[in-house]
Every structure is written in C-alpha cells, then in structure tokens.
Amino acid sequence: MKTVLRYSGVGLLIALAYLAWVGLTRHNANREFERAAEESEAARYRKLVPSGTELKITQFYASKQEAARGESILVCYGVENARSVRIEPLIEQQLLPLPVKCFPFAPHRTTTLKLVAEGEQGGEATASITVRVR
C-alpha cells in the first residue's frame, strides 16, 4: 500500500508540474500576442493619423487619486509623435507609444508616477500623477 501511495504521489507531482508549465506557456503566449497586437495598432495609428511632428502627452491619469493598499486602479496615458514611452518607477514592463492605453496598477504606498515620452525627432515630454494610499 505504501508503494502505491508513493507512486501516485510522484505521478501527482509530475501532473501538477506539467499543468503549471502548460499554464505558464499559454500565459506567455497570450502576453506576446497582446503585445504584437498593440504594436500593430500603434504602427497603424502612426500611418493613419496625420498630425504635426510635435511630441505631446495628450493624457496621463489614474482612475482614482486615492486607493486602499493593494487595490487595483487603472493608469491611462496617451501620446502623439513618440518613439518610446516609460513610467518611472517601473510599474509596467512594455509601454507602447499609443494614443490611449490603460493598464492595472495596485499601489502599496503613496506613489508619484512620472510618464516620460521620447520623440521621433529627439526630445522628451513628461507628466506626473500621484496616487495616495490610505
């Protein structure tokens, strides 16, 4: 009986490891698919929208200015004529220069976020918001 339990325990561990691997692989594939779709959307937007060459942050805001510790809020931004975008401190790995983009953020302490957009012709534009944690 002990032998049967030992082998079934090992089998269960192998099955769990396999399921975890499959889940992680699918998660990574989904993230890559979403990133590629956003890049395609950004490229299409740059081609279709005739605008000047001036680098501009059109919007940068949080869905709430105050949140409970760990509560998820949305942070949204929009830029024009930007080559790259980043937020300091780093809270989202891949930001793309899109006219509108929102993503979830769960602050654990009061945080000031700074959006930095780098232009196609050089130069930078910045904007800041503060999310207070109660």
Q: Where is the domain boundary, 13, 31, 48?
A: 48
E strands in the chain: 56-62, 66-67, 73-80, 82-88, 101-105, 111-119, 124-133
**Rounded (5°) CA angle 6-9-12:** 155
> 24 vs 4, which has greater pLDDT?
24
Return the CA Rg of the chain. Answer: 21
pLDDT tens digits, one per residue of 26-75: 888 888 888 877 877 777 666 655 557 889 999 999 999 999 998 999 99
Are 63 and 129 members of one domain? yes
Nearest to 57, CA basis, from 117, 131, 120, 123: 117
Give me the number of domains the chain comprises: 2
Model confidence pTM above 0.95: no
- Note the residue count of the chain: 134
- Listed in sequence order, the residues at least 6 apart from 23 whose beta carbon sits closer than 8 Å to its beta carbon are none
Are 39 and 80 members of one domain? no
Preceding peptide of 104 cis, ω within 30°: no
The CATH number for 69's domain is 2.60.40.1930
Are 43 and 108 members of one domain? no
Assess whether pLDDT exceeds 90 at residue 116: yes
pLDDT mean across residues, the chain: 86
Are 57 and 44 members of one domain? no
- Using a pLDDT cut of 70, give the percent of the chain over it: 90
- Using a pLDDT cut of 90, give the percent of the chain over it: 49
Domain span at residue 37 reads 1-48
